[in-house]
Structure 1
């Protein structure tokens, strides 16, 4: 081979090699979540005692949603984070929810970005002055609040995270190229430090404690001083005593007019019984 031809051949080979490496690098940086990687993540959850959440993903449309969203994503990377609730709480939610609400609740535990413990720590550090960062979930218009927390592990205080005030008990349970998995010791529901616009879902999954708290805040007694409450109770007690004396006088007149017969027992006792009956039986 002539020297000139050899130089041309070498230059062409280098160019082809560079094109091959660029193509390979492009394939790596645009990698999507695959069936195999998702299966590895779900298997890791089962090994750690989280069975219902991976089973629910596998048997619902959420699996197809993860894979399809990864395939059709407009960004160069399509990654996810799973926050798995414990089996007992997910089982209870399944019994108490309709199928659409249950599916939405599953989607609340998925964020469309890969977030390791290190990533969560960086997010909270950057937003510490504003009260904590919010991360997206797969439910539209619903974001999850992330906070720093402390946990006691084998007698040692360690740093942890709260996702919508639910503690991350098993961080970095599985870390893949396009997915991160964390275990929770609670379950995430709508209606608590979130950004939900779907009020029907919020009403169906909100905690009864939230309703009690709201009732307390809207109570007519809210904002009154202790003196005013005591004064109100004293006034009601005075009115009851006056009514009791008035009823006793009526009873004496009734008994005198009808030969002194006792009708229906004490007036005060009858009022309590009737009031309770009316309350619980709507009469």
Structure 2
């Protein structure tokens, strides 16, 4: 089995080194990771600038690329470049990230974004994070990354990303695993002046008041690891019928100039019957 490992903390981050070492016990591992820190890049891709790619040595990896680009760029480049060498990837793993990716974090996260890019191209993908920006405990995160491998490949659609978050605690202090949905963690953000004359964003997470047991933010706060299945398709299918029944339509030229709203299907039928 072939696995592409990406991240957003950069190719020299200890987190990605731990993950590659663990996964190499089960598969041939290939790496494509940013040249530097690219947290907060979400699923952004580079379309107006050149991307520079160079091969590098990486312990326990079959081959590796350092990419001057976003985490999602790394996923795309890794899948293409290694694919052109005859290496088709069975899975994409993103991480291990320094800092958790919970609740609304997942919208901004380069770690989750890189995994989503893998899923978008039809490859089973997993995101892994440890709940500290100075993390020092990676063993449980690596263990869970290995444990979910078979489940992801046989029980989930490629359009699903498993998002794993683990407390930065010794194994004996982690209370267990919860299978969760996204919690309401938002941020109180402000921009403050920096020494260079610009501004830097600062902020702190602000958990919503309705956090409950099945939310990822609650699980980590209470000392549990969290596994959340995320979908690539964000469509609100429950709104399809109400939208169809709302009577939206294209205004005819005369209606648009008069400011009239287009007739709803029921109004049009009533008018026709009156004639």
**Class of the TM-score when normalised by the shorter of the 2 chains:** under 0.3
Larger-Rg structure = 1
Give the alignment's TM-score, normalised by structure 2: 0.25
Greater fraction strand: 2
Greater fraction helix: 1
